[in-house]
Structure 1
Amino acid sequence: MRRRKWKFQKFQHNNNVTKEKDSETKNDKTYISKDVKVNEEIIKERVGIGVSFDTGVRTLNILGREIQIYYVNGLCDMVAITELLKELMKLDVRDRETPYVREAIENHLTHVQVEYKDNIEDCITDMLSGLVFILVDGEEKAFVLDVRNYPGRSPEEPDNEKVVRGARDGYTENIIENTGLTRRRVRDERLRHEILQVGVRSKTDICISYIEDIADPDLVDIVRKELESIDIDGLPMADKVVEEYIVNQGGNPFPLVRYTERPDVAAVHLYEGHVIIMVDASPSVIITPTTFFHHVQHAEEYRQAPFIGTYLRWTRFFGMFVSLFILPLWLLMVLEPQLLPDALDYVGPNEDSNVSEFMQIAIAEFGIELMRMAAIHAPSPLTTALGLVAALLVGQIAVEVGLFTSEVILYVALAAVGTFATPSYELGIAVKIFRFILLIAVVSFQLPGFVIASTILLLLLVSIRSMNKPYMWPFLPFDGQALWQILIRTTVPNLRRRPSIVDPQDPVKQSPE
C-alpha cells in the first residue's frame, strides 16, 4: 500500500507539477483578518459566491459592527438560520450601546454547538460541509455553527439484510444520522466517534467508531493512520474506496471487511471489540477486522430460539456448500461414471444434447448472471415480466431446442439458490468465481483436477490475513470454543467472553453467575 501511494505521488510529480504546487499553496493557512472586507474578498473568490447559486452570504449590522453569515443552500437547516437572524436582530435593538460586541453576539447565538476557527481554510471546509460561519468586523476568529441538514431518506430496513423479527431501521447516507443510530444502541460513555476528513477536494467525512476500553488501541491506531494516509482528490465511491486503501485486497476475491446496513449488527461488533468505519454518503458501514466466518452470519439467527437459529445457520452453511461444489461434483460424475456408487447411478444426463455438459453449465451460469444484472438495472414494474421471460427462455424453450438438458438446469438452479442464500453479497460472488475455477479444473483433469483445485482453495483461505488477523480463525488457528459458537447458535447468557481475534482489552463480556 505504501509503495502504491509512493508511485501515485511520483506520477503526480512527473506529470502535474503545477497542480502539486497549487496544492502546497492551498495547504498554507490564510488567517482571518480583522478587516471583514478583506476576508470577504478572499472567500468570494475561493467559493464562487455570486457565481455558484447555492453559496451565499448574509450581511448584517449589529451593535455598530458588520457581521457576515456564510452558508450553502441545500445543506443547511434554514429554520435554524432564520432563528439565528431573528435573535441577532433583537440584540441590535436591545443592546445598542454595549462595548462588548463579541461577547454579546456569542451569547445570542441560538445553537448548542459553537466552535471557533482562526483561518479561512477551515471555515470554508466547514461551510461546504453544511455548517455556517460568522465573521465579525474587528475580530480574528469566526463562529462556526453546526446547522447541517443533509438531503436524504429516512432510516429504512436494508433490502439485503431483512429479518422476520427485529428492528426495521437501517443506516442512511447521512453520517450524522448513522452515528445517532449507533449511539442509540450503545449508550456507553466510552463509545468514541472520531471524525476526520479524507480527500484533497471532496473533504469527505469519515467516522471511526469504537468502545475505548474494549477495542485494541493498536488496531484503532492502524485504522486511523491508514485513513489519514489516503491521498486522493475525492471518494465518489465512498466506503469501497476506503476499503481498498485500508486492506491489501490484491487478486484475492474474498471480502476482507464486512459491510452492514443494520445498526444492531454494528452495535454487536462494537461490543465485541471491532472498529466500525462510517463514510458520509454511504448507507453501509465497514466492520474490521473480520474473518471468513463473519460473512456467513445473519441477524435472523439471533432473532429466533437457539435451536431454530442453529437450524437456520446449518441450512445456510449447506446452501453455501452446495453452491460451491454441486456443479463440479456433478460434472465429475458425468465425466467419470465409475466414481458413482450404485445408489446414485441415476445421476447424469438421460438424453443427448448437441452441447457438452461443461458448455451447458457455462452458458447457463452466464445467463443467470446476465438476468441478475438485468433485474437490478430494470425498473421495478418490469422485473416481474423479466422473470417470466427468463423462466420461459431458460426453463422451457432452451431445453426443447436441445441447448440444455433438464438436469443441467436443475443443478445450476440449486447452485444459484445457494449463492443467493449467502448473507454476504461479496462472499457469494467469490464463491461463484471459485465454482467456475473448479469446473475448469474438472473438465481439464477430472478427479485430480478437482482435488488439486479444492486444496488450492483451502490453502488460499488459510493464507489470507485481514488487518493482520488470520482469515480462517477459529478453524485455523484452531480455537475450539469459538468454533463451537460458530457451528452452534449459543444462548446469549453463555456467551461470556469476547472473540480473541480482535485482542479486546476487556475479554470478559459478562461475569459468571
Structure 2
Amino acid sequence: MKFFSTKDLKNKNQRKHKVSVHKDEKQPLQAEDIFTAEEWELKNTDVIAHRIEDNKRILEELIGLGTSFDIVFREMEYVGKKAALLYFNGYAKDEVMVEVVKQLTRVKPEELGSNTIDSFIKKIIPHIQVEKVHTMSGAVQKLMIGSSILFVENASEAIAIDAKDYPVRSIEEPTLEKVVRGARDGFVETMMLNVTMVRRRVKDPRLKFELMTIGERTRTDMCIAYINDIVDLDLVKSVKDKISQIEVDGLPLGDKQLEEELLGRTWNPFPLVRYSERPDVISSHLLEGHVVLFVDTSPSAMILPTTFFHHVQHAEEYRQTPTVGTYFRWVRFFGILASIFLLPMWFLMVTEPSVKPEALAWIGPQETANVPLILQFLIAELGVDMLRMAAIHTPQPLTAAMGLIAAIIIGEFAVKTGLFVTEVVLYMAVAAIGMFATPSYELSVAIRLVRLVLLVAVAFFKVPGFVIGTTAILLILIFQRSFNAPYMWPFIPFNAKALFSIAIRKPFQQPKVRPSITKPVDSTRKPR
C-alpha cells in the first residue's frame, strides 16, 4: 500500500483542509502525519465517508473533535449498523435528543429500506425539522448553528436534526424605551424570538424575513425584514447587495458592526440608522415601508432609512391622547434644542455683552471663579460623561449613593471652593436633562459633541464662531443621506404635510397615506 506524508500534500497543494505540519521539515515524520491513499482522498474531498472512523478523524481536524470539550461524538449501533451523533453539548435540547435516541433503539431491520438515510428521516426520527446533508462542510455548517448531525455507517449522507436550544434571557421591558402604558416585551439576544414577537403583531403573509449569514469565522445569522407589497424593492435589493459584499471575520458586536459595514467609513457623529428594542415600534416602521435588520445576539433591530426626526419621536407619545402626545413631543423638542444651544448662547452673551438684549441684562455670572468659564464648561461636560460611564459600571445597589456623591458633594463643594460659578452648574444641569430626554441614545451622544464644538468655537471666535459653527452643523445635516434618503426630510426638502405630522401628533385615524420618504409601493394606510 502506498503512503503519503503531509509534506507531499503541501507540495502538491492537493489538500483542501490543513493538517498539522512540522515547522522544521527535517524532523522525522510522526504517525499522525502519514495517510493511506484512501484517507488522502477523503481529506481532499468534501464528502461524508462511509466509515464512522473516517468521519471521526476528519472531524478531529475540521472542528477540533477530541480537543474542544463541548463537542460530543456519541457512537452507537442500531440494527447492526454503526451510527454516531455529533452535537454541541450547550446547544442540544436534551429532551428531544433523548427521544430521538429512544426511537432509534426501537428500530427493526425490516423497517429499513434500501436507503437507510431516507428511512430514518421518513419513518423513525420523531422531529419536525430534519433534513439531509450531502457534504461534510454542509454538516459542519449545520452543526455550527446548533443542529445535531447523525452519521450512519455505509451512507454517503448525514441527517441534520434541528433540535437546538440557545441560551436566552427572559423577555422584559427595554430600559431605553420605557412607556407608562403599553407592551412590556422587548427584544432579547435570540433572533428567532425577536422575529416571532414582530410576527405576532403583523400577521401578514406578505411580511418577509430573509435570512443571510455574515462573517467567515463567526457565521453570524441576520435577516432582512420588510412587507413585500409596501416596501420599495429597490431599497431591499440595495441593502442585500451591500450585505452580500461584506467580507469580514465576523460580527461579534452584532448590529453596530453591521451598521458600520453598511454605511462605510464616516466620521459623522449623527446616527444614520435607528435602533429599537421594542417590537411594536419595529412593526409600526414596517407598516410605513421601512426595512428592518435583525442580527442574532443583538437585542435591538436596525431601522432604515431614517431621518433626523425619526430619532426624536418616542412610543410614549402614541400611548397618550393626541393633545397630550403633542405636548410631550414639544417638551422633548425644547429639551433637545436647550441641550444644543443653551450653554453656547449663555457663554456668548457673557463673553460678548453687546449681543445681550436689555431684557436679559440679569443673565450672567453674579460671582467670579478661579477657573475661566470655558474650562468650567469643559470640566462640567467631562464630569457628566464620567458620571454616565460610572453609572453604567457601578453595581445597581450603589448607583443611588454614587448619584448623591456626584450631585451634592462634588457639585456643592465645587461652587464653594470657587472652582465653578453657580450659573454654570445650573445651565449644565438643564442641558444634561435635555440630552437625556432625547429618545435616541446615539443622537444624544452626537448632541453632546455638537455642544462641545459650539462652546469651543464661541471661546475662540465669539459671534462669528457661533454663527459659523451652527451653519456648518446644519449643512452637515442637510447634505447627509441615509440610504439615499434626505436626512433632514421633511424640513429639507420641504414637505408641509409631513412636517406638520412631526410637529403635531395626529389622531390614529387621520393619516391616510404612508410617509413618502420610504417610497412605498402601496402608499395607502386604509384597506381597499
Task: Tell me whether 1:275 sits opposite 2:259 in the alignment.
Answer: no
Look up the match of 2:39. Answer: none
Deviation of the 1:98 alpha carbon: 5.4
2:340 matches 1:324: yes
Hey, what's the Cα distance between the residues in 2 that align with 1:101 and 1:142? 10
1:99 Cα deviation from its structure 2 partner: 4.9
Letter in 2 for 1:167: A
Distance 1:23 1:232, change over 3 A: farther
Distance 1:209 1:401, change over 3 A: same
More helix by share: 1
- CA displacement at 1:109 relative to structure 2: 1.6
The one of 480, 499, 504 equivalent to 1:483 is 499
Task: Indicate which of 248, 256, 262 corresponds to 1:232.
Answer: 248
Instruction: Please tell me whether the aligned partners of residues 495 and 509 of structure 1 are also in contact (alpha carbons under 8 angstroms).
Output: yes
- Show the 5 A alignment for 1:437-456: 437-456=453-472
Q: What do residues 294-350 of structure 1 show as CA deviations (whole Å, max 9, x unaligned)?
A: 111111111111111111111100000000000000001101223222221110001
Q: List aligned pairs for 1:206-355, cutoff 5 A.
A: 206-248=222-264, 250-355=266-371
C-alpha contact 1:29 1:119 (8 A) present in aligned 2: no
Other-structure match for 1:466: 482
C-alpha separation in 2, matches of 1:98 and 1:251 = 63
Distance 2:16 2:515 in 1: 45
Tell me which amino acid in the other structure corresponds to 2:511: L
Distance 1:258 1:322 in 2: 22
Q: Contact (CA 8 Å) 1:270, 1:276: kept in 2 or not? A: yes
Percent identity between the two aligned chains? 46
Amino acid across the alignment from 1:253: P
One-letter code of the match for 1:482?
A
Return closer, same or farther for 1:142/1:365 CA change in 2, 3 Å cut-off. same
Does structure 2 conserve the Cα–Cα contact (< 8 Å) formed by 1:56 and 1:72?
A: yes
Structure 1 48/451 Cα, relative in aligned 2: closer, same or farther at 3 Å? same
Does residue 360 in structure 1 map to residue 370 in structure 2?
Answer: no
Given that 2:480 and 2:487 are in contact with CA atoms closer than 8 Å, whether structure 1 keeps it comes out as: yes
Contact kept? 2:16, 2:45, Cα under 8 Å: no
Residue 172 of structure 1, CA deviation: 0.5
CA contact (8 A) 1:63 1:101 kept: no
Instruction: Please list the CA deviations of residues 386-406 of structure 1 after superposition, one character each: whole Å capped at 9, or x if unmatched.
Output: 111111233210000000111
CA shift digits 1:213-268 (9 cap, x unpaired): 11111111111121221111121111111000001351100001111111111111
Please show how residues 363-512 of structure 1 align to structure 2 within 5 Å: 363-511=379-527
Q: Displacement of 1:354 after TM fit? A: 1.3
- 5+ residue gaps in structure 1? 1-17
Asked which structure has the greater CA Rg, the reply is: 2
Further displaced range: 435-444 or 37-46 = 37-46
Q: Read off the aligned partner of 1:339 and give its amino acid letter.
A: V
The corresponding residue for 2:31 is none
Aligned to 1:101: 116
Contact 2:209 2:224 in 1 (8 A): yes
- Say whether residues 1:168 and 2:184 are aligned partners: yes
Provide the aligned length of Structure 1 versus Structure 2: 491
Q: What is the identity, as a one-letter code, of the residue corresponding to 1:103?
A: D
Tell me the equivalent position of 1:141.
157
In 2, Cα distance between equivalents of 1:180 and 1:97: 38
Determine the C-alpha separation between the residues in 1 that align with 2:15 and 2:448.
44
Aligned letter for 1:279? V
1:42 positional shift: 1.1
State the alpha-carbon separation in 2 of the partners of residues 509 and 256 from structure 1. Answer: 26
SS in 1 for 2:86: strand
Partner in structure 2 of residue 12 of structure 1: none
- Seen in structure 2, the aligned counterparts of structure 1 residues 258 and 131 have a Cα distance that, compared at 3 Å, is same
- CA displacement, residues 169-203 of structure 1 (integer Å, 9 cap, x when unaligned): 11101111111111111111111111121111111
Secondary structure in 1 matching 2:159: strand
The separation in 2 between residues aligned to 1:24 and 1:335, in whole angstroms, is 71
Flag structure 2 segments of 5+ consecutive residues without an equivalent.
1-9, 19-43
Q: Distance in 2 between matches of 1:358 and 1:187?
A: 56
Q: Could you tell me how far apart the structure 2 residues matched to 1:256 and 1:471 are?
A: 8
Q: CA RMSD in A?
A: 2.0
Q: Distance in 1 between matches of 2:103 and 2:519?
A: 52
Residues in 1 aligned to 2:367 and 2:93: alpha-carbon distance in whole angstroms: 69
**1:48 pairs with 2:64:** yes
